[in-house]
Amino acid sequence: MGRKISTPVMAIAVLYLCTMGAVVGGLFYARHWAVATYVSAEEYENWQEWKTAAEQQSRIEGPVRRRPPTSNQPPALELTQEHFVPILSVSLVVTSALFFALTYLIRGMILSPGRIHEDEDS
């Protein structure tokens, strides 16, 4: 017969899948929000006005020179449209690494013998 999976392993697997689902869902929600917020003609005009103002500020001499934006889209919209796959991939890798590191530490705390060390003077 097949090997039975222990309850803690099953609980960790379910928790992992829920965590990854939350990360993916959150990123898709952020993408939807950015598109809904910044795709309108009014927001495009606002971005173009800000971009023009930033370009004018870049010509002003001072201790720090501003770099003018090069994109024709707001950063949130460009990130969620042009770079969504790399953002999703890195988010899943980093979240997985943190999840398994935390799982390893918690497992170690639970399975440690937990001896209390007393001073010899006591």
| Block mean pLDDT (10 aa), the chain, length 122 | 79 96 97 90 89 85 80 88 94 97 90 72 58
**pTM over the 0.85 mark:** no
Q: What type of residue sits at position 96?
A: S
Q: What type of residue sits at position 20?
A: M
Q: What is the dihedral of CA 14, 19, 24, 28, to 10 degrees?
A: 120
Look at the alpha carbons of 67, 77, 92, 16 in this order and tell me if their dihedral is positive or negative: positive
Please tell me the predicted confidence (pLDDT) of residue 110: 83
Please tell me the predicted confidence (pLDDT) of residue 33: 93
Distance separating alpha carbons of residues 65 and 50, to the nearest angstrom: 16
